[in-house]
Homo-oligomer: A and B are copies of this chain.
């Protein structure tokens, strides 16, 4: 690993000592400076800073200040000077690309009195691309392979601009690319592992995904596991009505880190298994369910009232779903519940639209109409108004299989479209339990 081949060197007053860098990782205070006029104009939101902040907290690096500056060399230089007065590590995000506005590494190099030198691997990538596109790379394009002399380079696994860590006596400077796709990969695979302490240089993370309980309930449920946990760390995060737990272990080897994560995961799932659906940074609940259906060759359909097609559209978001999903029904009006999936008018008259009986009849009717192994049904009150005396958020979800039909009642919170989204995810969890229990 290149990091450990380096001996301390001095370049124009900048000491390069990677052992120091490793030990500085802990108890270090980082200032994040995002560079880009488009952020000052409000055209894009600085999501990189939030992503990096979460990562830094996992490796014990605190951050007390962030700045945003435009693509202006003087102001960027001034912002670096401000940061030097209050932070030890200065992380510059953006401005490594090929356009004339991309000046971040030039400004940093000038600030530190360093030359820019070329990284052979990234230069090769640029040459290969030029060959492939039968074009000649301009100097602007080639500048993406440059980094300040003496720096540790950070490989860009999904783009062309090289990143870098420049180590001085009093400060560390980090250069990261701006496009979030490049940024997040470089943070996870290149930067964070290098910020780990001492010999524990192997940092491994995994993300456990849960649906069906809120963040505070989840954190309460595993409070004794999280408390006092500093390696591995456990970081909860909420998005799209789901909670994720990002577990991060540092160890002398990747295998050792994974063993630590396995043990922690087992302790967490002993408590939270009913809410767990998958492990992975990008996997969705819908993907997980569709993969289970495909693996088991189980076909599915649906009859949707309040969700009005959202469940089927969510299945449809997963490539390859056509193998198990022939189509289905949106049965918004009571008459259409009868016409398309055969719900008796008497069932609706006796029990109401929002009832176990109607949900079961819809699921059975849909399954029978298309001849699938499974069918899901949705009936309830999305809101804002109540229906048949039931408040908004009252929902029945039916599930018909070869062995019978059942329905469950839920009381979901939020506005109309939050209720509808929660409703779809709740059904996906029901399906997952049904599939995994067989």
The answer to whether B319 and A308 touch across the interface, beta carbons within 8 angstroms, is no
**A52 partner residues in chain B, CB cutoff 8 A:** 42
Q: Is A47 an interface residue (CB 8 A)?
A: yes
Q: Is A39 an interface residue (CB 8 A)?
A: yes
Q: Is A358 an interface residue (CB 8 A)?
A: no
Q: Which of A41, A55, A416 has its CB near the most chain B CB atoms (within 10 A)?
A: A41
Q: Is A173 an interface residue (CB 8 A)?
A: no
The answer to whether B42 and A416 touch across the interface, beta carbons within 8 angstroms, is no
| Minimum distance in angstroms from A313 CB to a CB of chain B | 4
**A326 partner residues in chain B, CB cutoff 8 A:** 332-333, 335-336
Q: Is A312 an interface residue (CB 8 A)?
A: yes
Q: Is A310 an interface residue (CB 8 A)?
A: yes
The answer to whether A309 and B311 touch across the interface, beta carbons within 8 angstroms, is yes
Q: Is A328 an interface residue (CB 8 A)?
A: yes
Contact of A46 among B45, B309, B335 (CB under 8 A): B45
A39 to B402, CA, bound (A): 50
A237 to B44, CA, bound (A): 10
The answer to whether A417 and B317 touch across the interface, beta carbons within 8 angstroms, is yes
Q: Is A370 an interface residue (CB 8 A)?
A: yes
- Using CB atoms, name the residue of chain B closest to A66: B68
Residues of chain A having any CB pair with chain B under 8 Å: 39-47, 49-55, 57, 63-70, 72, 75, 78-79, 82, 86, 237, 302, 304, 306-313, 315-317, 319, 321-322, 325-333, 335-337, 339-340, 370, 382-385, 416-417, 420
The answer to whether B65 and A75 touch across the interface, beta carbons within 8 angstroms, is yes
**A44 partner residues in chain B, CB cutoff 8 A:** 50
The answer to whether A310 and B319 touch across the interface, beta carbons within 8 angstroms, is no
**A328 partner residues in chain B, CB cutoff 8 A:** 309, 329-330
The answer to whether A51 and B42 touch across the interface, beta carbons within 8 angstroms, is yes
Contact of A332 among B316, B383, B385 (CB under 8 A): B316
The answer to whether A42 and B46 touch across the interface, beta carbons within 8 angstroms, is no
Number of identical monomers bound together in the oligomeric complex: 2
**A53 partner residues in chain B, CB cutoff 8 A:** 39-42
The answer to whether A64 and B69 touch across the interface, beta carbons within 8 angstroms, is yes
A48 to B47, CA, bound (A): 12
Contact of A308 among B66, B313, B385 (CB under 8 A): B313
A339 to B340, CA, bound (A): 11
Contact of A42 among B50, B332, B339, B420 (CB under 8 A): B50
The answer to whether A325 and B316 touch across the interface, beta carbons within 8 angstroms, is no
**A75 partner residues in chain B, CB cutoff 8 A:** 64-65, 86
The answer to whether A330 and B333 touch across the interface, beta carbons within 8 angstroms, is no
A45 to B383, CA, bound (A): 29
Q: Which 4 A-B pairs have the closest CB atoms?
A: A308-B316, A309-B309, A42-B53, A309-B312
| Minimum distance in angstroms from A333 CB to a CB of chain B | 4
Contact A333:B327 (CB < 8 A) given known A40-B53, A66-B68, A68-B65: yes
The answer to whether B40 and A66 touch across the interface, beta carbons within 8 angstroms, is yes
The answer to whether A40 and B63 touch across the interface, beta carbons within 8 angstroms, is yes
**A383 partner residues in chain B, CB cutoff 8 A:** 319
A136 to B432, CA, bound (A): 48
**A310 partner residues in chain B, CB cutoff 8 A:** 309-310, 313, 316
Q: Which of A42, A63, A312, A340 has its CB near the most chain B CB atoms (within 10 A)?
A: A42
A69 to B339, CA, bound (A): 60
The answer to whether B72 and A64 touch across the interface, beta carbons within 8 angstroms, is yes
Contact A313:B319 (CB < 8 A) given known A42-B53, A65-B67: no
The answer to whether B79 and A57 touch across the interface, beta carbons within 8 angstroms, is no
| Minimum distance in angstroms from A306 CB to a CB of chain B | 7
The answer to whether A329 and B330 touch across the interface, beta carbons within 8 angstroms, is yes
**A308 partner residues in chain B, CB cutoff 8 A:** 309, 312-313, 315-317, 321, 325
A311 to B308, CA, bound (A): 9
A131 to B44, CA, bound (A): 43
**A331 partner residues in chain B, CB cutoff 8 A:** 327
| Minimum distance in angstroms from A277 CB to a CB of chain B | 20
Contact of A57 among B41, B46, B327 (CB under 8 A): B41
The answer to whether A309 and B319 touch across the interface, beta carbons within 8 angstroms, is no
